[in-house]
Amino acid sequence: MRSSGLDGIRPEPGQPIVVLTGAGISKESGLDTFRDADGIWSKVRIEDVATYEAFAHDPRRVHAFYNERRRGLLNPTVQPNAAHRALARLERDWPGQVLVVTQNIDDLHERAGSKNLIHMHGELFKVACEHCRAVLEWREDLSRDMRCPDCSRAAGLRPHVVWFGEMPLEMERIYQALGAAGLFVSIGTSGNVYPAAGFVSEIRAQGTPSIELNLEPSEGTSLFTRAIHGPASQVVPAFVDNLLVR
């Protein structure tokens, strides 16, 4: 733990806060991270399930991967943890705008009560139609032969997730929010995947303070103004308490 104080990084009331979250915030809710020793990429290869080429080559395999994760997210034991709830509290009680930009495709931020939220890598409970571009709510298993409920054409539905080589969602809105932020907070992400991993460099270049809250130092840890290392369910509520108590 480098420092637990917020001296020098506390934004003025009214200044916007941008929070980036990654798989680490949902780990204590029972969802796997990607790059930890027991993470998703230790069990499947990125190039088999997380590129458009993989989907085009073997849609059945990619659907099976996301169907299993969708079923996992529907398991009643998977619930928001204290870190998700603390961010919802921050949005409610901070006297300024709070935007959560999540790389996660789970819905735990919404379930905890976050409202100003961007899923930059998509959402597990949505599918997209490659024919008519509709994006639809979806909680069932998905397969290649299913028809789009909007345009009725078959073989066009895919998980509404951003694979490697695809453009993350709402980038313009994200960069606008980063440009106006009084504080940038990064939680539970290893800092391996761009463009999210580059946000801290943008923030640093514009002279905005930043803080990393992660189990261990991320790839970009030295770029942050401050870092607190520990489990999200402990460090995030403590950080939010500290920010809200003046």
Catalytically active residues are 121
Give the C-alpha separation, 136 to 159, whole Å. 10
The binding track of 10-39 with respect to ligand BJW, each residue x by CB under 6 A or -, is ------------xxx--xx----xxxx--x
Token pair belonging to 31? 């969802």
Selected range binding ligand BJW among 53-61, 88-96, 135-143, 193-201, rule: CB under 6 A:
193-201
Whose Cβ is closer to ligand BJW: residue 208's or residue 218's?
218
Neighbours of 204 (CB within 10 A): 16
- Quote the least distance from Cβ 49 to ligand BJW, whole Å: 8
Residue 80 within binding range of ligand BJW, rule CB under 6 A: no
CA-CA-CA-CA torsion for 139, 145, 151, 156, nearest 10 degrees? 90
Give residues with Cβ within 8 angstroms of 102, minimum separation 6: 20, 21, 22, 25, 109, 117, 118, 119, 120, 121
Residue 195 binds ligand BJW, judged by CB under 6 A: yes
- Counting contacts by CB under 6 A, is residue 186 touching ligand BJW? no
User: Cβ distance 228 to 239 under 8 Å?
Assistant: yes
Using the minimum distance from each CB to ligand BJW, give the nearer residue, 182 or 188.
Answer: 188
Is residue 180 within 8 A of residue 16, CB to CB? The reply is: yes
Check binding of 50 to ligand BJW (CB under 6 A). Answer: yes
166 binds ligand BJW (CB under 6 A): yes
Q: What span, in angstroms and rounded, lies between the C-alpha atoms of 140 and 67? A: 8
Q: Is 192 in the site for ligand BJW (CB under 6 A)?
A: yes
What is the rounded distance in angstroms from the CA atom of residue 121 to the CA atom of residue 102?
8
If binding is defined by CB under 6 A, does position 170 make contact with ligand BJW? no
Looking at residues 103 to 162 of the shown chain, list those that interact with ligand BJW (rule: CB under 6 A): 103, 105, 121, 161-162
Positions touching ligand BJW (CB under 6 A) are 22-24, 27-28, 33-36, 39, 50, 103, 105, 121, 161-168, 171, 188-190, 192-195, 214-216, 218, 231-232
